[in-house]
Amino acid sequence: MPDLLLELRSEEIPARMQRKAAGDLKKLVTDALVEAGLTYEGAKEYWTPRRLTLDLRGLTARSADVKEERKGPRVDAPEKAIEGFLRGAGLSSVEEAETRTDPKKGEFLVAVINKPGRAAEEIIADAMPAIIQNFPWPKSMRWGEKSREAGSMKWVRPLQSIICTFGPETEEPVVVPFEVGGLKAGNVTYGHRFHAPDAITVRRFDDYVSALEKAKVVLDAERRKDIIKNDAKNLAFAKGLELVEDEALLEEVGNLVEWPVAIMGEFDEAFLDIPPEVIRLTIKENQKCFVLRKGALGDGSLSNNFLLVANIEATDGGKEIAHGNAKVVNARLGDAKFFWETDLHAIKTDGFAPWLEKLNQVTFHAKLGTQGERVQRIMALAEELAPVVGADPGQEALSGEAAKGIKERAKRAAEICKADLNSAMVYEFPELQGLMGKRYAERAGEDASVALTAEEHWKPQGPSDDVPTDPVAVAVALADKLDTLVGFWAIDEKPTGSKDPYALRRAALAVTRLLQENSIQINLQNWILRAIIRHLKSQQRSAHPLWPVYVCLRLNNHQMEYLSVMVDEVVSDHDFKFNLDAEAIVVGLDGNSNPATAIAASSNYQTEEILDRFPAPNSIVSDLLSFFHDRLKVYLRDQGARHDLIDAVLSQSSEGSPLSPLVGEMSAQQTEGGTSPALDQKNASAASPPLSSATTSPPQGGRMGASNDDLLMITRRVEALGSFLSTDDGKNLLAGTKRAANILAAEEKKKTEVADAISADLFETDEERALFDSLEEAENFATQAIEKEDFAKAMEFLSQLRAPVDAFFENVMVNAEDTKVRANRLALMKRIRDATGTVADFSKIEG
Amino acid sequence: MAHDPKNSFQGLILTLHEYWADYGCVILQPYDMEVGAGTFHPATTLRALGPKPWNAAYVQPSRRPTDGRYGENPNRLQHYYQYQVLLKPSPPDLQELYLGSLRAIGIDPDLHDIRFVEDDWESPTLGAWGLGWEVWCDGMEVSQFTYFQQICGQECSPVSGELTYGLERLAMYVQGVDDVYDLNFNGGSDNNKVTYGEVFQQTEREYSRWNFDIADTDTLLKHFEDAEEECKRILDADAIDPKKDREIIMAHPAYDQCIKASHVFNLLDARGVISVTERQNYIGRVRDLSKACGEAFLKTEAGGALAEA
């Protein structure tokens, strides 16, 4: 069976693109050949900075003949139809088509098209130009004389030559002739740019690879990496040092060379005073070199040696190369040392104050104000979060002295957490933000957890990053991320599709992980609202003077009661330049009258004007909450939870929650009830019904309304549900519930009457009675258990339903002849569904 | 030998001149305006547009006000020299030609580790981008190598190859000197030797002070507005000169104003009076000018308009 050798030789391909490009080449070529009817035994791709290579073995020499039949119209079909058919099938006259008979269709035409197989060379020559022309590079370019022509060839960098040879092992391979972008496929390549500049003629993969090796090109990237790793380790070992391994750096460096040569370099020992992270970063990011640490005999600290990987075997053994690299490393570390010392001096003489002051001049986002304003918001939120975060799992928030201490630390930590953005070091090395903040905070004598927070509040940066555990760090990390999410939601810069320029998915996942992995219970909606109010507060200077009115108008009574302290603060902060009765707001906060209407009545502004000006916080709350749910699903799925259980729990709990229905849903309810008090400003008076009375509806009968914004409890419930469903009771109850729900759904569809309430008088059997009693009891106990957040217990109570449900279905016909009895029984079905609904929406569960 | 790049900064320049003159380049002189990089020279920016072949090389003094260090940093300067080569269309052996120039100035690729490291070049003020590399010599970036894809918002057709050498860096490398101010400028020895520091250290100090603290921001802001205004006015003028009764499109005078606006923007940036959001706005305004200049140039003879007609 013949083999195919393909090489695309190019000017230097960016290191980060090579691996994927070689993989793409393999896929595109093999797909195209298989599509054309060829098969192959194996394919392997290779790459260096200057070439992509494909070694394709055991290709069939030609594709098989294919006979295709195409059915056409009836023989007596209109001429046009027949003509069209013939044209489509490539036949020139009716005589070339066969006539067949079918009992249904009668006599009709069939075109029999014989496609003879094609030689593999032909198929390859046909397929290659398009594959090369349309190669999926992330960014490609035109070049040279040809670039004058419209639609000229594009490639990642100028493509220089193409090898394409084909043939069985026993024969001399042939060059598959094709041309693309002015390049003709051939059998010539070139070796190492400096060591072996002469042309090399190749036949097939085996001699190609060994010719390259002789020409100082190691084709296999994995081998280049192994060479680098081994040589580096040996060089390090000889000096009593250890290589600090770095897989990503190794991959990159391995793709910057065709002939790797590890060389030891040395920088000025005086630079070891600089924090080791800075040295590592400088040497790694800027110079693409490996750092070394003092080995078994030393203390494990960083060495002033480093390892570079050259692309040549230099005539002087690499002395000049080592010397040159050391000079650059010294110059860069000299800069870093200068920044480090400048910063330390600044901290020592003035503390953090000047850096904090400067945050007020730096824009965070054009629509979200300065970094300084951002820090103020984070401080306020972190201070409020700290006593909650600091409490033991399942316990009330801290209070008294304990709360005071942690609040102060959280506030201070939040205050300085972004200060290092103004340090010289972070200006130069943005990657060091946080870490430098911690270093400087330590030097400034800040509390240990405050200093730690400067670094850890950025975490977790992704699904595998460590999650902070220090309560101060956790509080600030949560505050920071909530503030960011709310901010970008408020200005409608949400992630869409693959676009997430502000890494908001990562922020939401971070919140999820912070809460889960520290077992923190919070109602996210409340905290989102708080963050919204903080945003409004920090925008008050630039925003409309009516913003506090707006805050009150947009919140319902329940929310305002909950947040009364904050709203109070917001209101008293404002200087009330307009004619507004501040008293009215405070009165409103008591819940006795409606603050919004009171405000509207005493101001000269149109309420619509205010409402139109700002996004509704409640649409932010609900939208952001469902964003959190999506992140939670991803997170739980990664942890191995069943997605249907997550859906079942989320769909149940979205039924009711302490703060909902939200104001966003308010208008619909208001229009039902006639004139909206909020929008009818002229008629507004203190006697109007409270704005939000319609919205704070009590939990629906039978529904628990467990909150859907406490991510930790959602997880607990998913877990409890999972273990319940793995028991026999659980499985049977699920089956029973589904059966009940199906019967109910079928009857509801038929518009059969279902009784509003269950009437014991209409029971005809013991099973009905028993089921009813069990339902009453189970639902009651389950509800209580859920209130105590004991989901396992709630499941246990529900499991007691299994026997009566089973007995009911075994012995009772739901569809009784007496319509009243039937309606009553259907109401029982409904009750089963509702009872299980206290823990989860069973209809979402599979199986 | 006074021309030896190994001990003479000017020798390095002369060697490069000779190398590229031999190749057939027009050896031009620096443009007589303040620019941030050799790319701004109209011999690059404008000549990279249109269909006409063009090979040029020149030294361009480049000013980066924010990089001023009062003559105290051995590596950073607010005024330095770039050596610029523009070959249009890019020849197929451009990499080899470039390596030849390194050999000419005494960098032996069998002794030194020369690498082409990915670099996507982009100039938001010029509305320009290209792909290429930073060229590393023993870990130090010594040149930029770019295939221009777009300049002044116009597609390059054909594509030019641009080579930009950091002359001070290269000279420090070739001369084996750690401090830019210690470079031998003229190749002389003992009493006849003139160092880079003798030529430029004082001016670095003076300009650093002016750039950072003294330059009057109100005046600069006005200069910016004026240059912008004048650029637009020039381009708005009737293409036909009534005096000569023929078409004279003033792409170059207009482009001068664009360069001026760009440099004034850099000065304002160094004075720290441009906020992050304003920054984008200024960059956008300069880009609009450069686009308009590019369009105008394409209507001129050098831009290929007559050649096509």
Do the chains contact at B112 and A324, CB–CB below 8 Å? yes
Please state, in angstroms and as integers, the Cα–Cα distance from residue A484 to each residue in A511, A771, B133, following that order.
11, 51, 37
The whole-angstrom distance between residue B290's C-alpha and the CA centroid of its chain comes to 15
Q: Do residue B113 and residue A310 have CB atoms under 8 angstroms apart? A: yes
Is the predicted pLDDT of residue A209 greater than 70, yes or no? yes
| Tokens (6 digits) for A148 | 């004058």
Which one-letter DSSP state was computed for residue A614? Answer: S
Nearest-by-Cβ selection for A312 from B75, B113, B275: B113
Three-state secondary-structure class, residue A175? strand
- Give which of B66, B111, B175 to mutate to test A binding, by max A Cβ within 10 Å: B111
**pLDDT at residue A839 in the model:** 80
Q: Are B273 and B218 in contact (CB under 8 A)?
A: no
pLDDT for the residue A578: 34
CA–CA gap between residue B196 and residue B200 (Å, rounded): 6
d(CA A361, CA B275): 8
User: Tokens representing A522?
Assistant: 């919070």
Whether B138 and A320 lie within 8 Å, measured CB to CB = yes
Which residues in chain B have their CB less than 8 angstroms from residue A145's CB? 89, 158
Cβ contact B110–A156 (<8 Å): no
Which one of A39-53, A103-117, A419-433, A564-578 scores highest in mean pLDDT? A39-53
Q: Let me know how many helices (H) and strands (E) chain A has, helices first.
A: 32, 18
**pLDDT-based confidence at A747, cuts 50/70/90?**
confident
Q: If you measure CA to CA, which chain B residue comes closest to A322?
A: B138
> A564 pLDDT band (50/70/90 cuts)?
low
pLDDT, average across residues A449-463: 93
In this structure, which amino acid lies at residue A227?
I
Contact A144 B91 (CB under 8 A): yes
Beta-carbon separation of A194 and B109 below 8 A: yes
What is the model's pLDDT at position A726?
87
Question: What contacts A776, CB < 8 A, 6 or more positions away?
Answer: none
Instruction: Give the residue among B125, B133, B55, B134 at the shortest CA–CA distance from B88.
Output: B55
CA distance B239 to chain A (A): 27
Measured distance CA(B81)–CA(B166) in Å, rounded:
7
Query: Please, which pLDDT band fits residue A368 given cuts at 50, 70 and 90?
Result: confident
Q: How far is CA B270 from the centre of its chain?
A: 19
What's the confidence (pLDDT) of residue A211?
Answer: 97
Asked if A141's CB is within 8 angstroms of B130's CB, the reply is yes
Per-residue CA distances from A291 to A233, A251, A304, A743 (Å) = 11, 15, 8, 70
Answer whether A194 sits within 8 Å of B137, measured CB to CB: no
Q: Where does B232-296 show beta strands of DSSP type E? A: 240-241, 246-247
Burial of A682 (0-12, 13-18, 19+ CB in 10 A): exposed
Strands B54-63 and B26-27, how do they pair? parallel
| Mean local confidence (pLDDT), A711-734 | 87
Residues of chain A with Cβ-Cβ distance to B275 below 8 Å are: 361, 363
Q: Using the beta-carbon criterion (under 8 Å), do A147 and B115 form an inter-chain contact? A: no
The percent of residues above 70 in pLDDT, for chain A, comes to 83
Stated length of chain A: 847
Q: Hey, how many other C-beta atoms are within 10 angstroms of the C-beta on A688?
A: 20
Tell me how crowded residue B193 is: count the other CB atoms within 10 A of its CB.
14
Q: Which residues of A touch B91 (CB under 8 A)?
A: 144
- Yes or no, beta carbons of B111 and A158 under 8 Å apart: no
pLDDT in tens, A277-319: 899 998 998 899 999 999 777 788 999 999 999 999 999 999 9
Task: Find the closest chain B residue to A252 by CA distance.
Answer: B117
Poorest-confidence range of A14-23, A365-374, A431-440, B241-250? A365-374
| Residue type at position A493 | E
Residues 6+ apart with CB under 8 A from B209: B70
Query: Would you state the pLDDT for residue A585?
Result: 43
Per-residue pLDDT band at A553 (split at 50, 70, 90): low
Q: Answer whether B308 touches A (CB < 8 Å).
A: no
Please indicate whether, in this complex, the C-beta atoms of A311 and B90 are within 8 angstroms of each other. no
Nearest to B74 by CA among B193, B168, B208: B168
Q: Is B116 on the interface with A (CB under 8 A)?
A: yes
Segments of chain B with pLDDT less than 70 = 1-2, 276-277, 306-309
pLDDT at position A478: 97
Write the DSSP assignment of A251-289 as a string of letters: HHHHTS-SS-EEEEEE--GGGGGS-HHHHHHIIIIIT--
Nearest to B137 by CA among B160, B116, B158: B116
User: A533-542, A742-751, B226-235: which has the highest mean pLDDT?
Assistant: B226-235
In order of A34, A117, A252, B71, B294, the CA distances from A37 in angstroms are: 5, 8, 38, 70, 51
For A736-751, give one letter per residue: b (16+ CB within 10 A) or e. Answer: bbbbbbebbeebeeee
Task: Flag if A11 and B113 touch (Cβ within 8 Å).
Answer: no
Q: Report pLDDT for B44.
A: 97
Lay out the sheet containing A241-243: strands in order across: A241-243, A290-294, A302-310, A261-266
Q: What is the pLDDT of residues A816-826, one digit of tens each?
A: 888 888 888 88
Within 8 A by CB and 6+ apart from A298, the residues are A240, A241
Give residues with Cβ within 8 angstroms of A70, minimum separation 6.
A85, A88, A89, A110, A111, A113
How far is B111 from chain A, CA to nearest CA, in Å? 5
**Residues found in chain B:** 309
Cβ-Cβ contacts under 8 Å, A146 against chain B: 158
The alpha-carbon gap from A169 to the nearest alpha carbon of chain B, in Å, equals 35
A810 contacts A766 by C-beta, under 8 angstroms? no
- Mean pLDDT over A710-734 rounds to 87
- Contact status of B66 with chain A (Cβ, < 8 Å): no
Q: In the structure, what pLDDT confidence band is assigned to residue A464 with cuts at 50, 70 and 90? A: confident
Helix (H) or strand (E) holding A102: strand A98-102
CA nearest A195 in B: which residue?
B110
Other beta carbons within 10 angstroms of residue A518's beta carbon come to 18
The pLDDT of residue A653 is 58
pLDDT tens for each residue of A122-132: 999 999 999 99
Residue A591: per-residue pLDDT: 43
ipTM above 0.90, yes or no: yes
Confidence of residue A671 (pLDDT cuts 50, 70, 90): very low
Task: Tell me how crowded residue A395 is: count the other CB atoms within 10 A of its CB.
Answer: 10
- Please indicate whether, in this complex, the C-beta atoms of B92 and A158 are within 8 angstroms of each other: yes
As a whole-number percent, the residues of chain A with pLDDT over 90 amount to: 44
Picking from A311, A324, A363, the nearest residue to B140 by CB comes out as A324
Q: Do B112 and A314 touch (CB under 8 A)?
A: yes
- As a whole number of angstroms, the distance between CA A51 and CA A12 comes to 8
Contact B165, B102 (CB under 8 A): no
User: Tens digits of per-residue pLDDT, A161-207?
Assistant: 999 999 988 889 999 999 999 999 999 999 999 999 999 999 999 99
Pairwise pLDDT comparison (A673 vs B261), residue with the higher score: B261
How many Å lie between the alpha carbon of B172 and the closest alpha carbon of chain A?
A: 11
CA A311 to chain centre: 38
Which residue in the set B132, B133, B137 is minimally distant from A324, CB to CB?
B137
Q: What is the pLDDT of residue A567?
A: 54
Q: Which chain A residues have a beta carbon less than 8 Å from that of B147?
A: 141-143, 157-158
CA-CA distance, B40 to B125, in Å (whole number)? 10
- Out of A147, A148, A316, name the one closest to residue B111 (CB): A316
Q: How far apart are CA B116 and CA A545, in angstroms?
A: 58
The candidate with the shortest Cα–Cα distance to B140, out of A263, A48, A321, A251, is A321
Which chain A residues are Cβ-neighbours of B74 within 8 angstroms? 331
Cα distance from B245 to chain A (closest Cα, Å)? 33
- pLDDT, one tens digit per residue, over A587-642 is 344 444 444 555 555 555 555 555 555 556 667 888 899 999 999 999 998 888 88
Q: Measured between alpha carbons, how far is residue B64 from residues A514, B152, B231 in Å?
A: 45, 21, 23
**Rounded CA Rg of chain A:** 37
Q: According to the model, what pLDDT value does residue B286 have?
A: 96
Predicted pLDDT at A481: 96
The structure's pTM equals 0.73
CB contact under 8 A, B139 and A308: yes
* Residues of chain A found within 8 Å of residue B117, distances taken between Cβ atoms: 12, 15, 256
